[in-house]
Amino acid sequence: MPHDPAVKIIKKQSWGDYHLFRFETPALAAGAEPGQFLMVRVSDTPFPLLRRPISLHAKEKNSLEIFFQVAGQGTALLAQKKEGETLDILGPFGKRFIPDTNALPTPAVLVGGGRGIAPLYFLAMELNKLGARVKVLYGGKSRTDLPVREKFEKAGLDIVCSTDDGSFGHHGFVTGLLESEIRRQEPAILYVCGPDPMMKKTAEIAAARRIPARISLESMMGCGFGACWGCVKRIRRDEGGEWRKICEDGPVFWADKIIWEEKE
Ligand SMILES: Cc1cc2nc3c(=O)[nH]c(=O)nc-3n(C[C@H](O)[C@H](O)[C@H](O)COP(=O)(O)OP(=O)(O)OC[C@H]3O[C@@H](n4cnc5c(N)ncnc54)[C@H](O)[C@@H]3O)c2cc1C
Ligand code: FES
């Protein structure tokens, strides 16, 4: 199993509750792909016992980046780490976002809500390199919840933002922005990550318009590599559903295969 017990943080950026770490790790970076995630030990003490799953946000030759929001004790401890300190990391794990080559001439639209934008930067850069037309829709509660907007812009990516309170960009949910984008030009495919209600609404929009959509799901994770069954989700199969592991079979699934009811 890929494991680097002493990954050195070479760059840290913080915006309130949001943090970005870049670390040098040729071993883990080698096979890293968009949509995969790392299992990060958040402290040097036995507490908390479980590692936390964090998506790959960006990759350079020998380095990886993660972008995360403090959600509880584990991520708060992780946020205290400083440049020069080390992290114990397992991974990358999970199935990647498959770039749909049919999308090359028509836009692939990436929809990220809050911290869900994290895996979409890596994907956007890959799609861009493949020659796809990429449009990124980035939604947050307020303007301070869009900390990596400028990073997309600096990379030359087409990005449009929304805020729930109207303090920046489109006033309303990112799903509203998606609906106006679809009226303007129908995307070839959607790639989505964000809070469950936003992903569920996006899946409904995609189904109504028959637009293929790949969604990256979250769940609590015990191990991250298929051993504990702590992360299961019901995924549609034939007329029924079957339990699938988000860590191993996902986290990326086709939107029309996801059964959302259990979490509501
Ligand atoms: C595949 C995957 C990739 C992820 N990528 C990122 C990322 O790139 N950036 C980022 O900021 N976060 C990401 N997350 C979410 C992140 O793992 C959780 O926020 C983190 O584990 C919370 O740990 P904590 O100890 O801070 O909070 P806890 O004290 O454990 O929980 C705080 C709150 O968050 C909820 N929560 C905890 N873990 C999860 C989870 N895994 N999914 C959904 N809700 C959870 C709890 O129910 C509780 O309400 C990802 C999760 C998964 C499964
Ligand atoms: S987190 Fe252990 S099986 Fe998925």
116-129 pLDDT, tens per residue? 999 999 999 999 99
CA–CA distance, 66 with 152 (Å, rounded to integer): 15
Q: What is the pTM of this model?
A: 0.95
Torsion, CA 129, CA 33, CA 54, CA 147, rounded to 10: 0
Contact criterion met (CB below 8 Å) for 175 and 46: no
Residues 120, 203: one domain?
yes
Cβ of 69 less than 6 Å from ligand 1: yes
Per the domain annotation, does 29 fall within a domain?
A: yes
Going 155 to 37 to 117 to 200, the CA torsion angle's sign is positive
**pLDDT (0 to 100) of residue 104:** 65
**pLDDT (0 to 100) of residue 262:** 56
pLDDT at 61 over 90: no
Per the domain annotation, does 227 fall within a domain?
A: no
Per the domain annotation, does 107 fall within a domain?
A: yes
Percent of the chain with pLDDT over 90: 86
Count of the separate structural domains present in the chain:
2
Per the domain annotation, does 264 fall within a domain?
A: no
- Number of other residues whose CB lies within 10 A of the CB of residue 234: 17
With bands split at pLDDT 50, 70 and 90, how would you rate the model's confidence at 264?
very low
pLDDT at 65 over 80: yes
Question: Among candidates 4, 9, 80, 86, which has minimal Cα distance to 39?
Answer: 4
**pLDDT (0 to 100) of residue 170:** 96
CA–CA distance, 146 with 113 (Å, rounded to integer): 9
Residues 114, 206: one domain?
yes
**pLDDT (0 to 100) of residue 125:** 96
Q: What is the rounded average pLDDT of the residues 64-69? A: 98
Q: What is the CATH number of the domain that holds 139?
A: 3.40.50.80
Residues 83, 163: one domain?
no
Q: Look over the chain and give the mean of its residue pLDDT values, rounded to a whole number.
A: 94
Per the domain annotation, does 252 fall within a domain?
A: no
Per the domain annotation, does 237 fall within a domain?
A: no
Per the domain annotation, does 263 fall within a domain?
A: no
242 C-alpha to center of ligand 2: Å? 16
**pLDDT tens digits along 115-169:** 999 999 999 999 999 888 999 999 999 999 999 999 999 999 999 999 999 999 9
What is the token pair recorded at 156?
């030359």
Lowest mean pLDDT among 42-46, 58-62, 91-95, 238-242: 238-242
Residues 85, 26: one domain?
yes
**pLDDT (0 to 100) of residue 70:** 98
**pLDDT (0 to 100) of residue 17:** 97
Residues 8, 72: one domain?
yes
Cβ of 118 less than 6 Å from ligand 1: yes
Nearest ligand to the CA atom of 147:
1
Residues 136, 206: one domain?
yes
Residue having the nearest C-alpha atom to atom 25 of ligand 1: 74
With bands split at pLDDT 50, 70 and 90, how would you rate the model's confidence at 45?
confident
Residues 35, 131: one domain?
no
Residues 167, 105: one domain?
yes
Residues 130, 204: one domain?
yes
226 C-alpha to center of ligand 2: Å? 4
Pocket test for ligand 1, best of 75, 93, 228 (most atoms within 8 A of CB): 75
Residues 116, 190: one domain?
yes
Cβ of 230 less than 6 Å from ligand 2: yes
**pLDDT (0 to 100) of residue 99:** 83
Residues 74, 169: one domain?
no
Nearest ligand to the CA atom of 217:
1
Write out the residue range of the structural domain in which residue 25 sits: 3-93
pLDDT at 197 over 60: yes
Pocket test for ligand 1, best of 57, 218, 263 (most atoms within 8 A of CB): 218
- Peptide bond preceding 2 in cis form (omega within 30 of 0): no
Residues 86, 114: one domain?
no
